[in-house]
């Protein structure tokens, strides 16, 4: 049996004088880049620079829209109306697409960020607003969502191609959701353990939840967070392990 998977990372999250992540080096290891669009992180200069780097590295270009919360890095939940969600998704994707068009390219995918991603995983109305915005802007965009979550369902419902996303460095709840970052066991800091879990997710379609039970899922794309201090070392290790285990890395949609 052959296996293939996409490897993505959240990039372009620097802002003004502040630098976050090692984008240029991480881009050498991944197949898809989720680029911040100015609401939770990033700015016009960072967006253009990140697009340029991703094009140079021949990495899939993706919009990474978030909640309008620079101070909270888009990781704080907000009470937002689905109409607002629809409009700020259009706004953010449109801004990033403008920079892609400088290279005569189209974006490949969309992945919501942080709290918005988690809200869309569980809230059908938020998920529907995002899916409709993406589809009506460009029905050829691929929508990334947490495996088995509401966003994936909404994307399929409107007619989008979807990618079930799994997380290399996060723990899972028994219902398949991610453990909230506010919990002490939300992150996996042992690179070897994280790597073993990812390989199992790709090959067996299962991951162990925090209570020891198995969660069934599909792994179309793997997220490695680019803002963690050890991100570069880990993504190199993960890429090598995937290849050694007969798993081909390939951009979603290619």
pLDDT bracket for residue 7 (50, 70, 90): very high
Query: Is a pLDDT exceeding 90 seen at residue 225?
Result: no
| Position 199 in a domain | yes
| Position 46 in a domain | yes
Percent of the chain clearing pLDDT 70 (strictly above): 99
Structural domains of the chain, count: 1
Residue 242: the pLDDT is 97
Query: Is a pLDDT exceeding 80 seen at residue 229?
Result: no
Separation between Cα atoms, residue 191 and residue 235, nearest integer Å: 9
Separation between Cα atoms, residue 82 and residue 69, nearest integer Å: 17
Residue 68, CB-side half-sphere exposure with 13 Å CA sphere: 10
Q: Are 67 and 80 in contact (CB under 8 A)?
A: yes
| Position 254 in a domain | no
Beta-ladder partners of 218: none
CATH, residue 242: 3.20.20.370
pLDDT tens, position by position, 153-206:
999 999 999 999 999 999 999 999 999 988 989 999 899 999 999 999 999 999
What's the domain range around 199?
A: 3-249
What is the DSSP code (8-state) at residue 218?
A: -
Q: Where are the alpha helices (DSSP H) in the chain?
A: 23-26, 44-56, 82-101, 114-122, 124-137, 150-158, 191-204, 231-244
pLDDT tens, position by position, 60-118:
999 999 999 999 999 999 999 999 999 999 999 999 999 999 999 999 999 999 999 99
What's CA 117's distance to the chain center, in Å? 9
């Amino acid at each position: 049996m052959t296996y293939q998977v996409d490897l993505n990372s959240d990039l372009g999250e620097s802002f003004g004088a502040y630098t976050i992540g090692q984008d240029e080096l991480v881009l050498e290891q991944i197949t898809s880049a989720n680029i911040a669009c100015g609401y939770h992180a990033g700015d016009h200069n960072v967006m253009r620079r990140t697009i340029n780097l991703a094009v140079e590295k021949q990495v899939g270009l993706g919009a990474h829209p978030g909640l309008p919360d620079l101070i909270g890095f888009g990781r704080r939940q907000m009470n937002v109306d689905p109409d607002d969600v629809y409009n700020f998704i259009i706004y953010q994707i449109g801004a990033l697409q403008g920079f892609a068009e400088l290279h005569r390219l189209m974006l490949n995918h969309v992945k919501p960020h942080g709290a918005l991603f988690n809200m869309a995983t569980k809230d059908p109305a938020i998920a529907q607003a995002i899916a409709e915005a993406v589809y009506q802007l460009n029905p050829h965009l691929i929508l990334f969502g947490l495996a088995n979550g509401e966003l994936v369902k909404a994307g399929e419902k409107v007619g989008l191609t979807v990618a079930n996303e799994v997380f290399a460095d996060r723990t899972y709840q028994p219902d398949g959701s991610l453990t909230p970052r506010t919990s002490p066991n939300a992150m996996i800091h042992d690179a070897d353990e994280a790597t073993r879990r990812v390989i199992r997710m790709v090959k067996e379609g299962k991951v162990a939840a925090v209570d020891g039970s198995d969660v069934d899922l599909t792994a179309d794309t793997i997220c490695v967070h680019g803002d963690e201090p050890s991100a570069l070392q880990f993504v190199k290790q993960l890429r090598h392990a995937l290849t050694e285990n007969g798993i081909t890395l390939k951009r979603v949609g290619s």
